[in-house]
Structure 1
């Protein structure tokens, strides 16, 4: 009996068991997190200026890449967290935080590199955010594959980084006051990732979307053109007034000449 109790009792200073991340409550938190993250990306679209707001198709092309990459990274973290010794919840959050910091830097470098190669070699299909006109599904698929490849590089680098021994000390410092396994799981799978994902998804979407460098210039030219048109209209009115005045003066001069011509013919 004691052995049975000990099998279910957390040992080694952790209280999140090996199957906590993939039980019913764990999957519920993961689906809820995915829905909240998706809602964040929808809200971001409506925060864009109306003159630069993406169509729903372009928005889907941009965000679907990030969605597929996030799912791949998340499933890899869930799997790897169960392979370490100790509390899998703390190992998961360590992997997640590294993905959101070091991984974000690797993503940024990879996207900028692909954009540079696209412009230098004319490989339009790998230029993130550019899909042609009309938008091409093939360009979207090529960028999806490239982004998933970046996720593989990110996860490989993070996994190698996790091999250092000092992460054992870091693990012992994470979530020490929490004794309830459900609360710990909620913090690890929902609360902390939600706030980090808001920032990460927002920043990554800015990397992936096409931002026209001429948008501000175009708006400036439009404003200048409106100002110039207003000035031209003002000058046109002034010219009209001047022309009208000159014509009126000319008519007066003609009347005076007629009057002067009529004077000698008037009876004495």
Structure 2
């Protein structure tokens, strides 16, 4: 009895062991993980329908773009689940710390890696590593090359985060990050579903914008200053008034000519010419 009390006091002093060591990999834990994956996949489908119709990707291109992100997220998730059990203390706290670091620092590393690969693709002509470009028709070889490159970025992200987690101050962070929650099931739901759901919506949306191809050809019209625009409008108005006056004059002259021709009868014209004296 005394031993159990001592163990409980020890765990409370260390921040509380709310989740058991196998909480992330039991039936309830796997159920939450599958539910989270389905919700994240639904978010990516909804994002496709939010795209403008003239820029909306085909289902094949959408699958090529999102499958890379899906495989990378799965690899990071499994690595976090495994690493959470390797630390001492509550595995739920270690998992959520790794997850939040992957969603912030890791997202920055992904952005830098994608931009570098696109820059190399343009300079070296390596179209296979240009994220979002698969050729016409879309080539599965380009998709495989980009998948391998994206998974390589995930390895860099996870290695960087794991080294960053070796700092001592994370021991203090884990003691209070989930301290208000005392129910193991509720804590697991927060760690594996509620918090990752909202963070994944933002992260998947932003990462998909990194991975998808965008048509950057735009028609650029020169901008004029307000003074130039006002002068141009005055010139247009004067030009229209001049054209209008010219048309009015032309119409008036036509009316006068037609009236003169009506007044002069052909017989009168012949009579006038016949009465003229002939000079010899």
| TM-score class normalised by the smaller sequence | 0.7 to 0.9
Show the 5 A alignment for 1:78-157: 78-157=81-160
Give the length in aligned residue pairs.
Answer: 246
Q: 1:55, CA displacement in angstroms?
A: 1.5
**Are residue 190 (structure 1) and residue 177 (structure 2) matched?**
no
TM-score using structure 1 length: 0.82
Counterpart of 1:73 in structure 2 is: 76
Q: 1:163, CA displacement in angstroms?
A: 1.1
| Distance change >3 Å, CA 168–CA 16, structure 1 → 2 | same
1:205-253 CA deviation, whole Å, 9 max, x = no partner? 11111111125x38x79xxxxxxxxxxxxxxxxx9xx99x969975984
1:16-66 CA deviation, whole Å, 9 max, x = no partner? 011110111000000100111111111111111222111111111111110
Show the 5 A alignment for 1:1-268: 12=11, 13-215=16-218, 217=219, 253=257, 256-257=260-261, 260-262=264-266, 264=268
1:119-177 CA deviation, whole Å, 9 max, x = no partner? 01000110111111111111111111100000011001111111111111111011101
Matched residue SS, 1:148: helix
1:193-214 CA deviation, whole Å, 9 max, x = no partner? 0011111111111111111112
Counterpart of 2:276 in structure 1 is: none
Unpaired runs of 5+ residues, structure 1, are 222-238
CA distance in 2, matches of 1:10, 1:110: 47
Which of structures 1 and 2 has the bigger CA Rg?
2
CA distance in 1, matches of 2:61, 2:2: 60
1:74-121 CA deviation, whole Å, 9 max, x = no partner? 000001100111100000000000000110010000000000000010
TM-score using structure 2 length: 0.78
Q: 1:257, CA displacement in angstroms?
A: 3.0
| Distance change >3 Å, CA 10–CA 140, structure 1 → 2 | farther
More off after superposition, 127-136 vs 84-93: 127-136
Matched residue SS, 1:147: helix
The answer on whether the counterparts of 1:10 and 1:17 sit within 8 Å (CA) in structure 2 is: no
